[in-house]
Chain A
Amino acid sequence: MVAEKETLSLNKCPDKMPKRTKLLAQQPLPVHQPHSLVSEGFTVKAMMKNSVVRGPPVAGAFKERPTKPTAFRKFYERGDFPIALEHDSKGNKIAWKVEIEKLDYHHYLPLFFEGLCEMTFPYEFFARQGIHDMLEHGGNKILPVIPQLIIPIKNALNLRNRQVICVTLKVLQHLAVSAEMVGEALVPYYRQILPILNIFKNMNDEQWAKWIRAGQTLKQARAVRHPSLESSQGTTGKRPQEGADGAGSPSRHFWFNEANFQQL
């Protein structure tokens, strides 16, 4: 009759007040579940027993960076480039107002490389096609300009834009086979070019294809990624020493293969 006594002493409105019950001897004590506290890491709150530390924020390694206006766009709009756009049955073609052999490569080639950051027509088309033509017909004029090309290449890769990365890798492949000793000339600049490629090194084909824009086929994405990041043969001169850049360095995988370039 314990329950009745308690209700008589406490209960003035029996319908509203809940009935209190007492535990029987065999019944175990209810375990009090502490309320978990979500907290940021490396705080005093995180040191508490019942706190659950929230994971670190996303670093944004794969996040695309916004583009800035380039010198290429400025020069193009001013009409400083000796190029004109022609439309033919295959699409667009570039017509040169001056013979490429007579161009000052020290002035124009770095400017065209700066246009690699562009993603809109006609800038990206002119940059891409202009680089292709200049590398195709440059000969020994290309080698002295290599140091001036590294910063534009690095800036283009740092955008983390898949389209831009694809185009830049193709340009790098063409650059390596464009003239003698260009491959060796690029070796001192691996530390500036390769880190961004190291970020995407482990991205599998499905992820890569997913992020490529519409219009790029998966075959092209694989063809671009495979020889640039996984080629093993050198184009000119010897392969860099295995230990030169440290074991496990991505530069071991980064060597252009002329045969692979031809497949592109």
Chain B
Amino acid sequence: MASSDAKPKSVSRAKKWSEEIENLYRFQQAGYRDETEYKQVKQVSTVDRWPETGYVKKLQRRDNTFYYYNKQRECNDKEVHKVKIYAY
């Protein structure tokens, strides 16, 4: 479990879509690296998710506006290679 001010040690690009990549895509669309940074910045313990699919449902951006995401997959295959995977 990362500490409250943990920073990633390495970054790589996603090659193939998966549910984890889908969620990472959604966090990065909202301007965060991943769920860890979102929880650090927003000081929340849980993230709103769709109960059916487990994908992220709602995120609050740094400017306090809200991004809402669909129940289904939003990350196309063309966008997969843009998703960054951070390792702590």
Interface residues of A (CB under 8 A from B): 84, 88-90, 93, 95-100, 133, 136-137
Contacts and interface: CB of A to CB of B under 8 A. Distances in A.
Contacts of B64: 97
A89 B66 contact: no
A36 B25 CA distance: 75
B46 interface: no
Nearest to B79: A89
18 contacts: A88-B29, A89-B79, A89-B82, A93-B67, A95-B61, A95-B65, A95-B66, A96-B65, A96-B67, A97-B64, A97-B65, A97-B66, A98-B66, A99-B58, A100-B68, A133-B68, A136-B70, A137-B68
B67 A136 contact: no
Nearest to B64: A97
Interface in B8-60: 29, 58
Contacts of A133: 68
Contact of A95 (B67, B70, B76): B67
A133 B58 CA distance: 11
B65 A99 contact: no
Contacts of A137: 58, 68
Contact of A96 (B66, B70, B71): B66
B35 to A, nearest CB: 19
Contacts of B82: 89
Contacts, number: 30
B68 A136 contact: yes
Contacts of A95: 61, 65-67
Contacts of B61: 95
A89 to B, nearest CB: 6
A118 B34 CA distance: 37
B18 to A, nearest CB: 19
A136 B71 contact: yes
A95 B70 CA distance: 14
Nearest to B67: A95
Given A95-B65, A99-B58, 11 more contacts: A84-B65, A89-B82, A90-B79, A97-B66, A98-B66, A99-B66, A100-B66, A100-B68, A136-B68, A136-B70, A137-B58
Contacts of B68: 96, 100, 133, 136-137
Contacts of B76: 90
A96 B61 CA distance: 10
A136 B72 CA distance: 12
A3 B26 CA distance: 104
A227 B68 CA distance: 27
A223 B58 CA distance: 29
A201 to B, nearest CB: 30
Contacts of B66: 95-100
Nearest to B29: A88
Contacts of A93: 29, 67
A44 B56 CA distance: 75
A95 B58 CA distance: 11
Closest 9 CB pairs of A and B: A95-B65, A96-B66, A133-B68, A97-B65, A99-B66, A95-B67, A84-B65, A88-B29, A96-B65
